[in-house]
Amino acid sequence: MLHLRLARPMLIALAACAANFLAQGSALADDAQENKALKEQMRQMMQRMDALQKQVEALSRQQAATPPPAVVTVPPPVTVPPPPVVAAAPPVKYEEKEPLLHKILSGFYGTLDVSFDDTTKGMNGFVAYPYSLVDGTNPNSGYVRGPNPKGNGAGPVGRVGYMPAFSTNKSVLGYRGSHKFEGTDLALIYQIETQPSITSSPGLNTSQFQQSNVVKGGIGYGDTFIGFAGEEWGKVKVGTTYSPYKKSTDRMNPFSGMLGDYAVIMGNSGGDNRVEFGTRLEHAIWFESPKFANMFSFDVLVSPGQNRTYDNVVQSSGSPDCNGGNQPGSGNLLLNCDDGGFDDAYSVDVKFETGPIYVTAAYEWHHNVNRNSDGIGSNHPIYGYLDSINSPLLDFATFDALSAEFPTSFGAGASPPYLTDIANESAFKVGAQYTLPFGLALSGIYEYMHRSLPQALQFQNERQRNGLWFAASQDIFSKDNVSIGWGHAGRTPGDPGGQHNFNPNNTDDAANMYTVAWKHRFDKNVYWYLDAAETVNKGNAHYDLGAGGRGLTTDCHDATNTPVIDYTSAGNTTWGGCKEIGFSTGINYKF
């Protein structure tokens, strides 16, 4: 600020000195013109000094308007004593706003599976011939084929080639939960299921091939039970369930619910759409053990027959269908449960699992299985012989009574049912699975099924045979899986001769089923699959494609249809030796 105040006097003094100097110079000058030029320079210099003076004054006013910087005094540091030690506060627990609602919703689960299939029955061009005994009075004389084909050589009726269709497969909606008893490790457990229909309307199963009183979309159809569970001793359940025999090898079937499901062969004693040793058992009680030493476990099931008859010709008490499936009279038969109805059932399995190894053995027994209807419509020459001699093995009393009452229907086209074709049936199997370090799972099963018939009825025993299953399943990339499988049904001691083209000279009734599938997972809940399968039936065999839970199966029945119910088994006709082939693609969603 001091320098700015001295600037103006100094500029005036400088100007005065310059003027004096110029004045002295002008007096000494000889030329007047030169003196005039010096005065003009003096005037310009004074103007510049005035402008400089104004700039100095403006700068002085600006500094005067700016307050001087404040002097900041730094206080001495203050020593703060450390805070007292306080115990950590307990973590804040999240309080569920609707705990009951959350618990209820967490109990729901389900599977939705829909596929598009294209399948053929593989029996175009088949021709049926009649067969008879070489000597009509000697059942051991051998068989001879008649000269003319049946029906003037007419083959299977209807569309037996490729046919596209949509199918709902092993879909289920369920709810499960538990109730813990305070102060103990005991809990009440419960589960209820139903099978929704997605590609068709729900209702009774009244197809041309079989009839059932069960509504699969009804609440309770599925693995449904109530029971008790303990952490140390296991679980006890009462209700309806797939048996331990069936469930023991489920993990070895990568084609479950597909066309190539191993139930086409395994557990299927009759080679048709029903799987006798792979079905649910009603009014059952069973025990599921814990895993001992983290390796061993077992399951035991008992299903009382609940049947007031000795030959199981009616439904079990409380059941809509016969034990073994279907309603009485299914297939245009007599209104009895004589197409596989049985009494008590027992099922048990033992399982061992450690690391990549899984091994199991299982056994199931059905008491007094009634198959008397196998005589109705039989084409077997030995059956014809029994009929001709009024054999006590056949039920002529029932046949004669119905023929007298319905002479133009039953009497004109039926044949007597068996009278004593009632026997115990059992199945035993061992299975093993090994998973290699790179993810390849290899599975194998051996099975033996047995029907305890007397020697006089062994000629028609198709329920006794060996079975084999091999499968390989490999995860590829991160979301894909490829599986292949082969099932083999061995030869049986006999055959009832229900096939329209039954040939008693062809005793090789084995069958092979081949299948391959590709699955692509979108996430942990959804996968898309592509499946192809073929069943090659030899001789009189008639195994299908899709048995074991698919909404649609492809079997060896043609489309023959009868407009009346006359109990003669007339209707869709079975053709042995068919070769079904199918392709399927679908989506599977689990939650």
- Residue spans of alpha helices (H) in 389-461: 396-405, 410-413
Residue 120 belongs to some domain of the structure: no
418 DSSP 8-state letter: B
DSSP string for residues in 508-555? ---EEEEEEEEEEESSSSEEEEEEEEEEEE-TT----BSTTTBSS-B-
Residue 382 belongs to some domain of the structure: yes
C-alpha distances out from residue 257 to 169, 197, 475, Å: 6, 14, 19
Query: CB neighbours of 400 closer than 8 A, spacing ≥ 6?
Result: none
Residues 134 and 29 in one domain: no
- Coil, helix or strand at residue 455: helix
Yes or no: say if 380 and 506 are a contact pair by the CB < 8 Å rule. Answer: no
Among 62, 79, 112, residue at a domain's last position: 62
* Length reported for the chain: 591
Strand duo 211-215 + 345-354: pairing: unpaired
Residues 46 and 141 in one domain: no
Residues 58 and 134 in one domain: no
Residues 32 and 143 in one domain: no
Residue 160 backbone phi and psi in degrees, to 5: -110, 5
Strand ranges inside 291-400, DSSP E: 296-303, 345-354, 357-370
Query: Nearest CA to 338 among 420, 430, 461, 234?
Result: 420
Query: CB neighbours of 16 closer than 8 A, spacing ≥ 6?
Result: none
Which pLDDT score is estimated for 570?
A: 79
C-alpha distances out from residue 538 to 91, 507, 511, 546, 586, Å: 71, 9, 6, 18, 30
Residues 200 and 279 in one domain: yes
Residue 331 belongs to some domain of the structure: yes
Q: Is 222 exposed, middle or buried (0-12, 13-18, 19+ CB in 10 A)?
A: buried
Tokens of 138: 């000697």
User: Which residues of the chain are under the pLDDT cut of 70?
Assistant: 1-39, 41-42, 45-46, 49, 52-53, 56-60, 62-97, 207-209, 411
Q: Which amino acid is at 141?
A: S
Separation of alpha carbons 319 and 304, rounded Å: 12
What tens digit of pLDDT does each residue of 247-259 get?
999 999 999 999 9
Residue 563 belongs to some domain of the structure: yes
- Residue spans of alpha helices (H) in 66-212: 99-105
What tens digit of pLDDT does each residue of 2-59 get?
344 444 444 444 444 344 433 444 433 344 455 566 567 667 766 776 776 677 566 6
Rounded (to 5) percent helix, strand, coil in the chain: 20, 35, 45
Which pLDDT score is estimated for 167?
A: 96
Residue range of the domain that includes 515: 129-590
Residues 393 and 275 in one domain: yes
Query: Nearest CA to 582 among 170, 254, 116, 269?
Result: 116
Residue 58 belongs to some domain of the structure: yes
Separation of alpha carbons 240 and 194, rounded Å: 12
CATH number at residue 554: 2.40.160.10
Strand duo 186-194 + 172-180: pairing: antiparallel
Tokens of 270: 């009759």
Residues 28 and 164 in one domain: no
Residue 234 belongs to some domain of the structure: yes
DSSP string for residues in 350-371? EEEEETTEEEEEEEEEEEEEE-
Among 62, 82, 106, residue at a domain's last position: 62
Residue 46 belongs to some domain of the structure: yes
Among 15, 39, 62, residue at a domain's last position: 62
Separation of alpha carbons 12 and 53, rounded Å: 10
Separation of alpha carbons 504 and 454, rounded Å: 20
H/E element, 62: helix 32-65
Residue 333 belongs to some domain of the structure: yes
pTM for the model = 0.82
Query: Nearest CA to 363 among 267, 462, 461, 239?
Result: 267
Q: Per the structure, how many domains does the chain have?
A: 2
Handedness of CA 213, 323, 326, 467 (dihedral sign): positive
Residues 53 and 141 in one domain: no
Residues 133 and 58 in one domain: no
Separation of alpha carbons 170 and 546, rounded Å: 11
Separation of alpha carbons 174 and 473, rounded Å: 28
88 DSSP 8-state letter: P
Residues 512 and 375 in one domain: yes
Tokens of 221: 């159809």
Residues 48 and 135 in one domain: no
Residues 253 and 356 in one domain: yes
Residue 162 backbone phi and psi in degrees, to 5: -65, 135
Separation of alpha carbons 326 and 321, rounded Å: 6
394 DSSP 8-state letter: B
Separation of alpha carbons 537 and 580, rounded Å: 9
